[in-house]
């Protein structure tokens, strides 16, 4: 009988220890609030398997407009933020929701429209192009979702001297959607739209749309990454989140970003050699 009890006790202890062993523990994971451009361009599908192979950490990406992504992090619903609206990012840090912002990569915005170009903006600077659009009033699709791209569009209207509130009408379609769906709408309507180059390159349903304005310095589109401040939200997974940030800005992470191409064209360009700010 004593032997039976001892045997049962041994099995019970083994089961308890087995349940508590690292092999049975939940895999490490983090939530990254990011933009629809990084998700819909396919970048995350390219780099996240490399990160997991290196660290064993799973990354769940919540793809939103930049404004919504930052709001999500302000609520404590994300461990890391990767977005592209520098003024909004600087405000996020100033408010104490992150201790630092790090440059990760950049690409650029492009102004897209039908090949027939009824507004005649092809080859213009971005501000002159927006003045032409306001005058001609061809169909124009705005994301309208507080994304980095939406913010860049609103700055372009303002800097071109256009009072958008007064100028907008039926020609201006505010869709409140991510970059991919907004491009689909523009393709269906034969409309003009401001897009990030990465999503445009990965977009298949182009119809008659083509790039009409590009290369203007005002279209520069930098991305930054921030670890959410655990002093504001103690639930932030600091160790795992910092591991992701460190990997993104490391030579290995930067090579992974640079290696993502579609039809031989690079979508994002590493910039982490710049000083963290």
- 9 assigned to some structural domain: no
- On whether both 117 and 58 belong to a single domain, the answer is no
pLDDT of 274: 54
What is the total count of domains within the chain?
Answer: 2
Compute the distance between CA of residue 132 and CA of residue 240 in angstroms, rounded to an integer.
Answer: 48
CATH of the domain at 87: 3.40.190.10
pLDDT of 17: 47
Q: Which two tokens stand for residue 220?
A: 């520069």
- On whether both 69 and 135 belong to a single domain, the answer is no
Last residue of a domain, one of 219, 236, 258: 219
pLDDT digits (tens, 9 = 90+) for 12-42: 544 544 544 444 566 799 999 999 889 888 9
- On whether both 118 and 193 belong to a single domain, the answer is yes
pLDDT of 259: 97
pLDDT of 25: 60
User: Residue 126's closest CA among 58, 181, 195?
Assistant: 195
pLDDT of 27: 78
* Spans in the chain with pLDDT lower than 50: 1, 4, 7-11, 13-14, 16-17, 19-23, 275-277
The answer to whether 110 touches 195, Cβ cutoff 8 Å, is yes
The answer to whether 37 touches 82, Cβ cutoff 8 Å, is no
User: Residue 124's closest CA among 191, 220, 221, 216?
Assistant: 216
pLDDT of 40: 86
Last residue of a domain, one of 219, 238, 254: 219
- 215 assigned to some structural domain: yes
The answer to whether 228 touches 80, Cβ cutoff 8 Å, is yes
Domain around 231: 27-106+222-270
3-state secondary structure the chain: CHHHHHHHHHHHHHHHHHHHCHHHCCCCEEEEEEEHHHHHCCHHHHHHHHHHHHHCCEEEEEEECHHHHHHHHHCCCCCEEEECCHHHHHHHHHCCCECCCEEEEEEEEEEEEECCCCCCCCCCCHHHHHHHHHHHCCCEEECCCCCHHHHHHHHHHHHCCCCHHHHCCCCEEECCCCHHHHHHHHHHHCCEEEEEHHHHHHCCCCCCEEEEECCCHHHEEEEEEEEECCCCCCCCCHHHHHHHHHHHHCHHHHHHHHCCEECCEECCEECCCCCCC
- 17 assigned to some structural domain: no
Note the pTM of the prediction, 2 decimals: 0.83
- On whether both 61 and 130 belong to a single domain, the answer is no
Last residue of a domain, one of 219, 237, 260: 219
């Amino acid at each position: 009988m004593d032997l039976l009890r001892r045997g049962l006790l041994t099995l019970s202890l083994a089961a308890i220890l087995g349940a508590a062993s690292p092999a049975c523990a939940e895999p490490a994971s983090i939530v990254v609030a990011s933009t629809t451009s990084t998700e819909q361009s396919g970048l995350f599908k390219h780099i996240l398997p490399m990160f997991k192979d290196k660290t064993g950490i799973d990354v769940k990406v919540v793809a939103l407009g930049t404004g919504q992504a930052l709001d999500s992090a302000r609520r404590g619903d994300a461990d890391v933020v990767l977005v592209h609206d520098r003024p909004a990012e600087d405000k996020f840090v100033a408010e104490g929701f992150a201790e630092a912002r790090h440059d990760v990569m950049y690409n650029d915005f492009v102004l897209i429209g039908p090949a027939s170009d009824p507004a005649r903006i092809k080859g213009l600077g971005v501000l002159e192009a927006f003045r032409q659009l306001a005058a001609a009033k061809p169909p124009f699709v705005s994301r309208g979702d507080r994304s980095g791209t939406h913010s860049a569009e609103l700055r372009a209207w303002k800097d071109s001297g256009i009072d958008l509130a007064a100028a907008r009408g039926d020609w201006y379609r505010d869709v409140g959607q991510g970059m991919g769906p907004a491009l689909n709408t523009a393709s269906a309507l034969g409309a003009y739209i401001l897009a990030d180059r990465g999503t445009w390159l990965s977009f298949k349903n182009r119809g008659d749309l083509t790039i009409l304005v590009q290369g203007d310095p005002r279209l520069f589109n930098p991305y930054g990454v921030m670890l959410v401040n655990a002093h504001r939200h103690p639930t932030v997974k600091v160790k795992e989140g910092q591991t992701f940030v460190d990997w993104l800005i490391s030579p290995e992470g930067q090579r992974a970003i640079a290696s993502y191409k579609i039809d031989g064209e690079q979508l994002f360009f590493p910039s982490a050699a710049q000083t963290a700010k």
